[in-house]
Chain A
Amino acid sequence: MPHLAIDGLNASYKNLKVLHDICLDVERSEVVSLIGPSGSGKSTLLRTLVGVNKPTSGKVTLAQRTLDYSSASSLKQARDSMAIVFQQYNLFQNMTVIGNVTIAPLKIKKWQRAEVEEHAHSLLQKVGLGHKLKAYPDELSGGQQQRVAIARALALKPQLLLLDEITSALDPELVGEVLDIIRGLARDGMTMLIVSHEMGFVREVSSRVVMMDQGRIVEIGTPQQIFDAPKETRTRDFTARVLSH
């Protein structure tokens, strides 16, 4: 039984159909990357999975539980076991680094303070920000903010981590520091669904790659298959274009 099973998922945004019949399984400890041109529905798929966008139909099963997006309690339960990191970091600007990382575990999950703080310290150490605990988001670089956002997501001990173009807003020299952390997570067996434009990274870190276009899945395969021997012309065109520069 896959950890995450998406079956026939459809979603609309302002009367525009943005996801068409998405079917995708993600096994535990698998890293699945979504690639495709802008507007192909990659980010929408992640946002729909966490319920920021509401699906119009389809079935999502997470850890053997079918999710009902119209039910607050079902959504709450699902959100309890997944975390998402956004392109724009979305840190709480009124809180310090450590505040951002500990608030949800303390106030929402109501875990023990001592444990939460220790975990937060070790996570921030891991992302190389052990010296910035008391800093505010606006005092940090984009790369640092994104690393805080990753620590904040990991502090929730998610069973599934969604990464939505987490390096797209970063200066090129800051991309590496963020991707290194994700590589580490993949090695540790974190189940991840990643939207990324960093093709080298996608190829290296993914168990499988999903090519999307116009709200549909075009092709699913191993990185080698998608990048070296794509079956679909659309995939071939896309990879040829992004890999040529």
Chain B
Amino acid sequence: MIETILSEIPRFFTWPNLVFLGEAAGRTLMLSVVGCLIGFTLGFVLACIRQTRNPWLAPLRVAAIAYTEIFRRIPFLVILFLVLFAIQVVAPNASLFAIALVSVTIVSTAFLSEIVRAGFDSVPRQQVEAAEVMNFSRWQIIHMIVAPQAWKVILPPGFAFMVMFIKDTALASQVGVVELTFTGKILSNRGFSATLTFGTILLAYFILSYPLTRLGRYLEIRLASPRH
């Protein structure tokens, strides 16, 4: 078996195949990084909404909580199919990649908003009270006092989530997005050894996620202490 794999290597690592794999890796990375960045932004907004106290904003708070609680409990694959079919109504020509990206964003928004909320809650309540009494607005409290202290609690699980999601984007192959896993299927269908193909795919996933883990670690150390 080893011999067959070795003999296939020159035929497998050709320039067109490498470009094919590279593009797929790019798509996988884009799906998780862009999806999680948008998700983080929206999740941050949801967490901020949940910090408000104004009685008029109660419906918004309920909506934010409902969103977080619902979409953290639905399997990613189900959301993918849901978006795939639901999107026909609003944008019948949406690309498969766009559909997958929207799905990633929906899920990551829910998870990351919960991570941000936990970060906000980790800042002692008394500091918030002190700021309230000094007439800080809700937004000033988040921006000047809570967020700077919450980063160190938000970042590790936030990055862990994104790195984990790089793997979950493999499910996007189910709706036909040509990302890494789908590329593996195509290549192995073309007759390349499945072991060689998926071994390469495995390596590609590692190459994608490891630097992100390191980046997360670096940011964690940079932001962990309040001193700038």
Known: A93-B226, A94-B145. A108 touches B140 (CB 8 A): yes
Closest to A134 in B: B227
Say which residue of B134, B226, B227 sits within 8 Å of A108 (CB atoms).
Answer: B134
Measured CA separation A88–B129 after assembly (Å) = 12
Distance, CA A88 to CA B126, complexed state (A):
8
How many positions in chain B have a CB within 8 Å of any CB in the partner chain?
A: 18
A186 in contact (CB, < 8 A): no
- Check if B129 sits within 8 Å of A52, measured CB to CB: yes
Q: Given A52-B129, A90-B126, A79 and B135 touching (CB < 8 A)?
A: yes
Q: Does B149 contact A (CB under 8 A)?
A: yes
Instruction: Name the prevailing secondary structure of the A interface residues.
Output: loop
A86-B126, A88-B126, A90-B130 as given contacts; A108 in contact with B148, CB under 8 Å: no
CB-defined contacts of B131 to chain A, threshold 8 Å: 92
Separation of A107 and B129 alpha carbons in the complex (Å): 17
B191-228 contact mask (Cβ, 8 Å, vs A): 1 or 0: 00000000000000000000000000000000000110
Q: How far is the CA of A216 from the CA of B133 in the complex (A)?
A: 25
A76 touches B (CB below 8 Å): yes
CB < 8 Å neighbour of A52 from B132, B135, B145? B132
> Is B97's CB within 8 Å of the partner chain A?
no
Contact count A vs B, C-beta below 8 Å? 53
Q: Judge whether A50 is part of the interface by a CB distance below 8 angstroms.
A: yes
Q: Are B144 and A107 in contact (CB under 8 A)?
A: yes
Q: What is the distance, in angstroms, from A235's C-beta to the closest C-beta of chain B?
A: 30
Which residues of B are found within 8 Å of A92, using beta-carbon distances?
127, 130-131, 144-145
B135 — which chain A residues lie within 8 A by C-beta? Answer: 76, 79-80, 104, 108
Asked whether B71 is an interface residue with its Cβ less than 8 Å from the other chain, the reply is no
CB distance from A48 to the nearest CB of B (A): 12
9 A-B contact pairs sorted by A residue (CB < 8 Å) = A52-B133, A79-B134, A86-B129, A90-B130, A94-B148, A95-B226, A107-B144, A108-B140, A136-B227
